């Protein structure tokens, strides 16, 4: 290695490290600001579940009116291409299409009411190995406390950290869309 190349190598790596750190700090600042203004908090559990929660100034009945339909609740997600629900006893059978890599991913799910909301589980899909989500709605001072929990594993060769980060971004937007729908009345 020449003397010039030897001098350049450490500074090049320092620049790469510094650039990476700046990108991470900037994106974290944007996410923090986004979370504060929308009052949505998100987290990822060690089991890979993504949880979003928000307190809204609407009654549980008003929140449940928006979330009662699988088609309407899926319509709040920025990744939903299409959701068609049909009755299945006290539940709904959902034919779901969501944004995929090259074409929409498809899944058939079953969405059932629970004591405090809804739980949706995977029935069949070639695009997902794991897919479930759960809404809970509880009364809170001056409104409702809404929690959305999900575990989604698409059948793609992408690092789990990237999938979890994207899922976290999507569920935060889902909750902001729910808040906006409640505000719009």
Residue 146 has pLDDT above 80, yes or no: yes
Pick the residue with more confidence: 143 or 3?
143
What gap in Å lies between CA 148 and CA 45, rounded to an integer? Answer: 13
Fold assignment, 39-184: Alpha-D-Glucose-1,6-Bisphosphate; Chain A, domain 4 (3.30.530)
Instruction: Measure Cα distances from 91 to 75, 84, 106, 111, 113 in Å.
Output: 18, 13, 19, 6, 7
**Rounded to two decimals, what is the model's pTM?**
0.78
Q: What is the pLDDT of residues 67-118, one digit of tens each?
A: 999 999 999 999 999 999 999 999 999 999 999 888 999 999 999 999 999 9
> How crowded is residue 54: how many other Cβ atoms within 10 Å of its Cβ?
23
Q: For the chain, what are the domain ranges?
A: 1-38, 39-184
């Amino acid at each position: 290695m020449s003397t010039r190349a030897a001098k350049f190598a450490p500074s090049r790596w320092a620049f790469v490290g510094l650039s990476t750190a700046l990108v991470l700090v900037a994106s974290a600042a944007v996410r923090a600001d986004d979370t504060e203004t929308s009052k949505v908090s998100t987290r990822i559990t060690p089991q890979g579940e993504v949880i979003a929660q928000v307190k809204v100034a609407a009654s549980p009945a008003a929140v449940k009116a928006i979330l009662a339909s699988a088609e309407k609740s899926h319509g709040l997600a920025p990744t939903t291409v299409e959701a068609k629900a049909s009755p299945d006893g006290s539940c709904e059978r959902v034919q779901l299409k969501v944004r995929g890599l090259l074409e929409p991913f498809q899944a058939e799910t079953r969405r059932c009411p629970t004591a405090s909301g809804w739980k949706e589980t995977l029935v069949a899909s070639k695009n997902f190995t794991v897919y479930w989500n759960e809404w809970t709605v509880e009364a809170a001072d001056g409104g409702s406390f809404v929690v959305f929990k999900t575990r989604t594993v698409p059948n793609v060769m992408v690092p789990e950290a990237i999938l979890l980060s994207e899922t976290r971004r999507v569920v935060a937007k889902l909750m902001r869309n729910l808040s906006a729908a409640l505000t719009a009345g």
